[in-house]
């Protein structure tokens, strides 16, 4: 009973602190617009993909986004989407690709994590394989905020609450890379994964300009 009372008091104190912070204007960090993302990332060349229609944009609720195709020298394609949320305190929150992709007819058939070395550290991100009919794609994605990379949607939401309490900020972004997979040969899938990883390695050092630390 005593332990429950202590836990209840801690929850009430945390809730009071959150409400107190929520009543203050959220601190908006300085950042570059995603439209300024370079069209050339290492040896990958970019081009604008189709604009996301207004109905989907209304559901996403993003404050800034980029939707492009990048091509390696051998013309291997990587689709890049980044959706940035300046604040998640008013109800607009990041949507997990695992919820959005099935709505577009893509079914996840593999779901795991992958560790990618970037500079002096390694980031752990999501790796999923999706199919629609005979089409197959490899998806790498993660949530990023305040210099932190998170694979788990749930931990992302926990960090959002903690950051709101500590820094009065709830800004965050979803970063997603999609590459097509031709056929069912495991070696082909491994090759596609390596090219997708190569693109992430080239992209990641640029992200701090657009997703504030």
Say how far apart CA 62 and CA 57 lie, in whole Å: 7
Residues 6+ apart with CB under 8 A from 120: none
Where residue 28 falls among pLDDT bands split at 50, 70, 90? Answer: confident
pLDDT tens digits along 162-207: 998 998 999 999 999 999 999 778 889 999 999 999 999 999 999 9
pLDDT tens digits along 87-134: 887 767 888 888 888 878 899 999 999 999 998 899 999 999 999 999
Of residues 17 and 150, more confidence is placed in 150
Q: Note the pLDDT of residue 29.
A: 81
Residue 104 belongs to domain spanning = 2-209
Residues 6+ apart with CB under 8 A from 76: 179, 195
- Please, is 119 exposed, middle or buried when counting C-beta atoms within 10 Å of its C-beta (0-12, 13-18, 19+)? exposed
Average pLDDT score over residue span 17-29: 63
Say how far apart CA 171 and CA 64 lie, in whole Å: 11
User: Which percentage of the chain shows pLDDT scores above 90?
Assistant: 62
Q: Is residue 72 helix, strand or coil? A: coil
Q: Note the pLDDT of residue 27.
A: 74
- Tokens (6 digits) for 96: 């997990």
Of residues 57 and 43, more confidence is placed in 43
- Reference 173, options 21, 37, 71, 70; nearest CA is 37
Q: 68 pairs with which residues across the strands?
A: 48, 80
Instruction: Decide: pTM greater than 0.75.
Output: yes
Q: Is residue 137 helix, strand or coil? A: strand
User: Does residue 25 have a pLDDT over 90?
Assistant: no
Continuous segment of H or E residues that includes residue 192: helix 186-203
User: Does residue 9 have a pLDDT over 50?
Assistant: no
Residues 6+ apart with CB under 8 A from 26: 87, 89, 168, 169, 170
Say how far apart CA 50 and CA 131 lie, in whole Å: 21
Q: Note the pLDDT of residue 10.
A: 47
User: Does residue 211 have a pLDDT over 70?
Assistant: yes
Q: Note the pLDDT of residue 61.
A: 84
Domain count, the chain: 1
Q: Note the pLDDT of residue 7.
A: 47
């Amino acid at each position: 009973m005593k332990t429950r009372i202590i836990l209840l008091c801690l929850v009430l104190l945390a809730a009071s602190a959150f409400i107190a912070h929520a009543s203050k204007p959220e601190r908006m960090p300085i950042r570059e617009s995603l439209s300024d993302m370079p069209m050339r990332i290492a040896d990958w060349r970019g081009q604008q993909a189709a604009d996301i229609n207004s109905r989907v944009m209304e559901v996403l609720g993003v404050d800034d986004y980029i939707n492009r195709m990048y091509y390696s020298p051998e013309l291997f394609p990587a689709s890049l989407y980044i959706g940035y949320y300046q604040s998640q305190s008013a109800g607009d929150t990041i949507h997990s690709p695992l919820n959005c992709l099935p709505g577009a007819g893509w079914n996840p058939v593999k779901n795991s994590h992958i560790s990618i070395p970037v500079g002096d550290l390694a980031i752990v991100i999501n790796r999923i394989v999706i199919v629609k009919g005979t089409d197959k794609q490899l998806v790498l994605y993660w949530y990023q905020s305040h210099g932190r990379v998170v694979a788990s949607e749930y931990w992302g939401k926990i960090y959002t609450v903690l950051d709101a309490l500590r820094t009065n900020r709830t800004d965050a972004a979803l970063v997603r890379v999609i590459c097509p997979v031709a056929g069912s040969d495991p070696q082909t899938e491994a090759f596609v994964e390596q090219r997708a990883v190569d693109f992430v390695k080239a992209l990641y050092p640029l992200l701090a300009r657009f997703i504030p630390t």
